[in-house]
Homo-oligomer: A and B are copies of this chain.
Amino acid sequence: MNQPAGRPHAASQSLPEPSRTPSEGLHCSHFMYRFRRDVLAGLSARRLRDGMRQFLAAVDPAEATRPEKLQRYIISGHKADFALMMMDADPLKIDAVHQAVVSGPLGAAVEATWSFVSMSEISEYVPSVPQYREKLIREGNAPDSPELAAKVAAYERRLPMMNQQRLSPDIPDWPAACFYPMNKSRVPGANWFMESSSLRQTLMAEHAQSGMAFAGRVSQLITVGVGLDDWEWMVTLWGRNPEHLKEIVYRMRFDQASAKYGEFGPFYVGYSATGEEILDHCRINV
| Measured CA separation A52–B165 after assembly (Å) | 44
**A178 in contact with B99 given A6-B238, A22-B243, A170-B8 (CB within 8 Å):** no
CB of A229 within 8 A of CB of B267, answer yes
Instruction: Give Cα A267 to B171, complex, Å.
Output: 28
Complex CA distance for A96 and B96, rounded to whole angstroms: 30
Using a CB-CB cutoff of 8 Å, which residues 196-237 of chain A contact chain B?
204-205, 207-208, 210-212, 214-222, 224-230, 232-233, 235, 237
Question: Which listed residue (B108, B115, B222) contacts A1, Cβ 8 A?
Answer: B222
Given A31-B78, A94-B76, are A246 and B227 also a contact pair (CB < 8 Å)?
yes
Copy total for this chain: 5
17 interchain pairs (CB within 8 A)?
Answer: A1-B222, A2-B205, A2-B208, A3-B208, A6-B218, A10-B215, A16-B240, A19-B175, A22-B241, A27-B242, A37-B102, A74-B92, A99-B283, A103-B283, A194-B260, A227-B248, A230-B267
Complex interface residues of chain A between 170 and 197 (CB less than 8 A to chain B): 170-176, 178, 180, 186-191, 193-194
Question: Are A5 and B219 interface neighbours, CB within 8 A?
Answer: yes
